[in-house]
Structure 1
Amino acid sequence: MQYPAPIAKLMEGFMKLPGIGPKTASRLAFYVLEMKEDDVLEFARSLVHAKRDLMYCSQCHHITDVDPCRICEDTSRDQTVICVVQDAKDVIAMEKMREYNGLYHVLHGAISPMDGIGPEDIYVAELIKRLQENENIQEVIIATNSTIEGEATAMYISRLMKPTGIKTTRIAHGLPIGGDLEYADEVTLSKALEGRREI
């Protein structure tokens, strides 16, 4: 069936989003048609503002509407620790936990030779420069994802960190709370054993 051109165009727009196929795009497009015009305009304005008004912090590369970001500007945070994460979403996840009170550095990706992504394609050089310029940093926590790419990135950064003398740690990986051993894969079990501690 042929959709009218405006609906087809809207569906095309929705299908550019991750995880949205033709059926979901169709549902969303028809839902938008049922919305009040003011709500549709507000939604459109929100999309435009998010794209135009957000930038990357010049220090940590987290998404922000002010530069430097509020985390980097917050003098009550521990200025001696930097947590290195892959994406801006990881900063938000860490902040929700309310356990970590240091600074961040967002790489915007991970080393993945299969995808043609090398260290020069993510913010590794900026991390090293930041550490050279700030003598207060005593520890770098590497909190990249527990994937092959995340592990490769963590190993690469840890090698770069060795000559600096700055303490470099890796977040623990292993079994989640409530997880059963029988359902865990080999890598998860291996990481859980490596990260064991005395009780």
Structure 2
Amino acid sequence: MASTILSRILQKRYLIIPNTSYCLSVNPKHNAWYSTKKSITNVEPNETNNKIQIGTAEVVKENLKSAGQLGIIISGIGITALILYTLFSELFSSESPDAIYSKARVRCMEHPKLIDLLGAPIKAYGDETNRRRRRRISHMYYIKDGIEYMKLKFYLEGARRRGTAFVEVKKNESNKFEYSYLYVMVKHFGLIKIEPNEDVADIQQD
């Protein structure tokens, strides 16, 4: 009786099912051993330093090359800007030799005595080269008594005769050029005065 009660208690507590057999299998634990082989190379410190120095030298060389190319580009831009500024000043400035020549040329072409003497129509041009090509107007800057002067010379050709025009302008108090004189020399007829001048002898010697 006591054994029966004990058996029931064990069945409830440990869930033992009667007439059931249990088999406990234990799988052996497998241990895996891995072997890695590493090749060890001895590197000399001097060799490592040499490689670092060579790499640094290459970087410096490339940087210097890039800086040189950038400098060339900047220089080219500066030269181009200077050329454009010079051309702009020469072509569009009212104080440039071309601007002074244009005004003097019109004054000569519209002067009644020159029209009568040279014959209409009158054309103006600069010096000629050996190949009979027309060059730019001859001009010269100089300073006298602290005042800036500019002289020009160009040629006039009409239906009957030719003449040579001499122009001198100087800076006034407003820092603008004004006429000192404007004359035209015609061979066998002398000087035709367009603007007043007292120094006629200097013109004849130019």
**Normalised TM-score (structure 2):** 0.26
TM-score calculated relative to the size of structure 1: 0.26
| Structure with bigger RCO (C-alpha 8 Å, 6+ apart) | 1
The structure richer in helix per residue is 1
| Higher strand content, 1 or 2 | 2
